[in-house]
Amino acid sequence: MTKKRNSRSSAIEDTMQAAQPQKANTELIDTTNVVFQHTGYPWNDLGVAALWRWLDSQALEHGRDSTGNPVGHYKGAECTLREKSLTISGKEAAVYALLDEALKVLRQSLEQPTKKGNPGLSSLARMVFAGQNTPNFLAKFAELPSKGQWRASGECSECGHKGVPTRVLGTSYNPLLVGWDDMAGFYSELRKQSGFEICQVCAFATPFA
């Protein structure tokens, strides 16, 4: 396994920079970093912790980086848990495949077939994700920004990343985003005047809580 390479700081930046010609070696061009940031929003940070727990359980090998942080190695990718972040890096296809697999497990944990045998949500999941009927409303990481509510460039109210795809917080998608100082994200009716926006990375992480 290779050590973490110095390429780009997130999948979003990766997308934004993809059009720029690069003559570095092909391994660097093909490398993606997805960084899940500690934000201070409990729902988000619990989601990141839960995501790490699952990733750690799936690692082919376990190791440490140069400063002693735990690293999980996978085919074509690796995950590093740091004090303030969880980073998944590697070949783009391998990184996205890991995230897709995590989402699949999350969907399965929320699923409870209806009496007629159709796909459905457990009663607890229906209470949290109000208005949803199946786990399939949870989108794949790479597909999130292509959904209708998203805009190409904004500032995340949670992690503070700027110039990344964002959407106004969805009450049913990321329902429990209470902050330390207000209930800003709990219901869309409570939107701040400035708006409460969430980025691709944070929107993906929170449902894992």
Stretch that binds Zn ion, among 45-53, 75-83, 95-103, 195-203 (CB under 5 A): 195-203
Q: How far is the CB of 141 from Zn ion (least distance, A)?
A: 13
The answer to the question of residue 199 lying near Zn ion (CB under 5 A) is yes
For residue 204, give Cα distances in angstroms to 23, 61, 139: 32, 25, 8
Applying CB under 5 A, the span of 13-21, 79-87, 120-128, 148-156 interacting with Zn ion comes to 148-156
Part in contact with Zn ion (CB under 5 A); list of ranges 50-58, 68-76, 104-112, 151-159: 151-159
R_g (Cα) of the chain, nearest Å = 17
Query: Are residues 12 and 161 in contact, defined by beta-carbon separation less than 8 angstroms?
Result: yes
Q: Does 86 bind Zn ion (CB under 5 A)?
A: no
**Burial class of 111 by CB neighbour count within 10 A (0 to 12, 13 to 18, 19+):** middle
Residue among 106, 202, 205, 209 that touches Zn ion (CB under 5 A): 202
By C-beta, is 33 or 125 nearer to Zn ion? Answer: 33
Do residues 36 and 205 make contact, with C-beta atoms less than 8 angstroms apart?
A: yes
Distance CA 55, CA 44 (A): 16
User: Which positions touch Zn ion (CB under 5 A)?
Assistant: 156, 158-159, 199, 202
